[in-house]
Chain A
């Protein structure tokens, strides 16, 4: 395990050095990422300025939801980038190289790239989250802060799990990968507003099947001390970061199944 972490850190450091070879164009990538992800908040701000509130939620409150899900997604975009681009490796045959190495395939795929430019999305999420917290003038305990951090990391794992599923799918067909965008990019779009505003099956899907609600909705219910219209008790909110971890581990099992399939078909 410790050995694995050391290897992963070496991968990350190599990846970072590769990306920083051309600092000017790298900076541009970061700024571009910041802009394209930041406009999302601009649209939310525009709607609030016209309508005043989103149901029972104010703009600073929604800012918390928004900031947390964007930071979580940025982490997975950076760290699980290897899974996101795996279909290219499969198509070109470079995935074979990974099978030729005596290490876990998942670790090596993670090591393909740590995409630093996602720091743009992360930064704008952090700024929005900070702004939300200050505007609400609430006093946050250390435990609550810890819950926020843990929930963001759990969210990073959850989205990473989705990228793992996407990569697994590419062992069967590269045509269908865009379906996963429904849950990744679509998930971010969905979860940047409180999940309680959605209806029926849609909300259930993102609460129970792909538990996006655990990234920000449940933790924030506890922190904002808000009675949950979905009826989840606050003590459960404190456990919600674990959902991402469990989800990620499950996805890795699916991944291993996919690798075995690749073994027998050669894709």
Chain B
């Protein structure tokens, strides 16, 4: 059986309506109205041990509700959920002993105290033996380069340093399953790379299953073998990122540096089969579908009609593709 099995998970929340305006505020004193929000509307998936899966979707799509159910914090209204053979919320204590969770926007470290103190507290919380604790600590300190940070009070750490420590804190008990909720949010480029590298190594060398939710498409591209996209409480697409985006991102982009000034209308009239999306000075951006017009043919067309200084074919930026995908999926 797969490590995580989820079948037809459903969850609704009751939310109090709050309307703007003084009069409505008064009215709210007497009577409050509620709306039901269907956060999960029949979600099913399986994840095998050792996978590194990206979980995508716009805010409010049901990502964190799913994660909360998987980690045993929240009960679903309906559906089946088994993680490592357990029903998370029924055997919470045994379950959480084997999972790690990192929230990018929240800290689990004691703000005013040196990092090592928080680690030692976690040792006691998870009842780790001294030998195990020391072994794991040594390893994470080594790979995350924390040696110089352990004695520093958390409040003095930079965001990137702190995130490395958060990761370490979530791994001290050697979890088999790791949930990462926006682990790179707000980090500088270098820290992002360190975090990404670490997650990749952890997954490859220890076989830790990782579920990653993020809005950073570079994270997903760099790490995830497989992604699931959720919207309005349903899984709308799943598979390799490339396969999912191929449909919406069939098109490539051709950037041409022209020698001379032309109007948009003129260029459009001269280049059928490709769409001019942008003209910046002498730089023209075309989107085209390689299935309909092959790149050499398009380039030949253009160079026959214009003086061309330079040209470049690229994939569309991944963020644009995803937002287009969301649009196509109506989420």
Contact = CB atoms under 8 A, between A and B. Distances in A.
Contacts of A21: 112
Q: Is the contact region of chain A dominated by helix, strand, or loop, or is it mixed?
A: helix
A11 interface: yes
Interface string A27-46: 00000000000000000000
A14 B117 contact: yes
B45 interface: no
Interface stretch (A71-79, A94-102, A144-152, A183-191): A94-102
Nearest to B101: A100
Nearest to B105: A93
A102 B121 contact: no
A137 interface: no
B92 A99 contact: yes
Given A18-B112, A21-B112, A264-B75, A96 B68 contact: yes
A6 B113 CA distance: 19
Contacts of A94: 106
Contacts of B126: 101-102
Contacts of A92: 106
Contacts of B65: 266
B51 to A, nearest CB: 21
Interface string A70-111: 000000000000000000000011101101111100001000
B320 interface: no
Interface string B77-112: 000000000000100111011010101001010111
A50 interface: no
A14 B121 contact: yes
A10 B113 CA distance: 13
Interface in A86-145: 92-94, 96-97, 99-103, 108
A102 B94 contact: yes
Contacts of A14: 110, 113, 117, 121
A263 B93 contact: no
A10 B75 contact: no
Contacts of B68: 96, 266
Given A21-B112, A100-B101, A266-B13, A10 B96 contact: no
Nearest to A264: B75
Given A11-B121, A14-B113, A263-B73, A102 B13 contact: no
A120 B284 CA distance: 74
A207 B89 CA distance: 39
Contacts of A266: 11, 13, 65, 68, 73-74
A3 B68 CA distance: 28
A25 to B, nearest CB: 12
Interface residues on B, range: 20 to 34
A7 B101 contact: no
B23 to A, nearest CB: 20
B71 interface: yes
A17 interface: yes
Contacts of B106: 92-94, 97
A10 B106 CA distance: 22
Given A99-B92, A263-B89, A266-B13, A10 B121 contact: yes
Interface string B109-152: 01111000100110011110000000000000000000000000
B72 interface: yes
A102 B93 CA distance: 4
Contacts of B101: 100
A100 B72 CA distance: 8
B73 A7 contact: no
Nearest to B98: A102
Contact of A101 (B11, B94, B96, B112): B96
Given A14-B117, A14-B121, A265-B14, 15 more contacts: A3-B127, A11-B121, A14-B113, A18-B110, A18-B112, A92-B106, A97-B103, A100-B71, A100-B101, A103-B125, A263-B73, A264-B74, A265-B13, A266-B11, A266-B13
19 contacts: A10-B120, A14-B110, A18-B111, A92-B106, A93-B106, A94-B106, A96-B68, A96-B73, A97-B103, A99-B72, A99-B73, A100-B101, A102-B96, A102-B126, A263-B74, A263-B75, A264-B75, A266-B13, A266-B68
Interface of B: 11, 13-14, 65, 68, 71-75, 89, 92-94, 96-97, 99, 101, 103, 106, 108, 110-113, 117, 120-121, 124-127
